Amino acid sequence: MRKVKKTIYTVSIDNYAKSVTDITFPFMKAYAHKIGAKFHVIDKAKFKRCPITGRLQKWPGRYEKFQIFELAKEHQNDWNIYIDNDALIHPDMMDMTTYLNKDTVVHNGRDVLENRYRPDVYTMRDGRHISSCNWLAMASDWCLHLWHPLEDMTLADAVKNIFPTAGEINQGVKPIDLIDDYVMSRNIARFGLKFDSIIDILKEKCGYDGNFMLHHLYAIPEAEKVAHMRQCLKNWQVV
């Protein structure tokens, strides 16, 4: 029987937020070891041109996660797991791929699309109103279009469709900071990807109320984020 191939991906361009990744990466590596996956850090920028004009343009570092669309094929994975570099994973976190069907993509949770984005023909046709919370994403080799790079509009046009929530604006979040969430939300609708959330799966299968084995705070300064992480580890009683 062939071994199931899995890779956990994260992004850290130019050693971004090293004080954060010094805490999070050991837990990601331990989780990868636990579930029999490889751990791969995307550390070099690939996206440098507009898909429409071909002109050079600067993409946010967070957009480099869309390299997974090609990397997953190169690595010949059965399962692909993306985790933001500022997310903490409890050592007791189970292998969620054992709960999933290969025809379904998964985030930890979900938001409502129209809260943040102007809907288009794909999201209107789809009708599920799914806003991607893509700081954690899982998809099999059947569903790599979850990470399909933007190809039918410019970065500037995409950003015009993004409207951070009031709370995000108060934390300094700009529309371009949500470009990855926007593109992945659109991909779920555009390619008709089946969708589920870890929170819903754990409630149905395990009786859990929420997912206490993941910790992620995104719209706060780095030093504050580190302080919250250290407190989280104390609460988890993890040294």
Q: State the average pLDDT over residues 203-209.
A: 87
Domain-located, residue 136: yes
Residue 207, pLDDT above cutoff 90: no
Q: State the average pLDDT over residues 125-134.
A: 96
Domain-located, residue 227: yes
Domain-located, residue 192: yes
Q: Could you tell me the pTM of the whole model?
A: 0.95
Question: How far, in Å, CA of 111 to CA of 132, rounded?
Answer: 7
pLDDT score recorded for residue 206: 87
Please give the helix or strand (H or E) that residue 11 lies within, else none.
strand 6-11
pLDDT score recorded for residue 1: 66
pLDDT score recorded for residue 196: 97
Domain-located, residue 24: yes
Strands (E) across 125-190 are located at 130-132, 136-140
The domain total for the chain is: 1
Q: With bands split at pLDDT 50, 70 and 90, how would you rate the model's confidence at 111?
A: very high
Domain-located, residue 161: yes
How does the average pLDDT of the chain come out, rounded?
94
Q: Which of 37-46, 128-137, 206-215 has the lowest mean pLDDT?
A: 206-215
Domain-located, residue 214: yes
Please give the residue range of the domain that contains residue 208: 6-236
Asked if 218 contacts 167 with a C-beta cutoff of 8 angstroms, the reply is no
Domain of residue 131, CATH code: 3.90.550
> For the segment 8-49, what is each residue's pLDDT rounded down to a tens digit?
999 999 877 899 999 999 999 999 999 999 999 999 999 999
Domain-located, residue 1: no
Domain-located, residue 56: yes
Asked if 147 contacts 186 with a C-beta cutoff of 8 angstroms, the reply is no
> For the CA atoms of the chain, what is the radius of gyration?
17
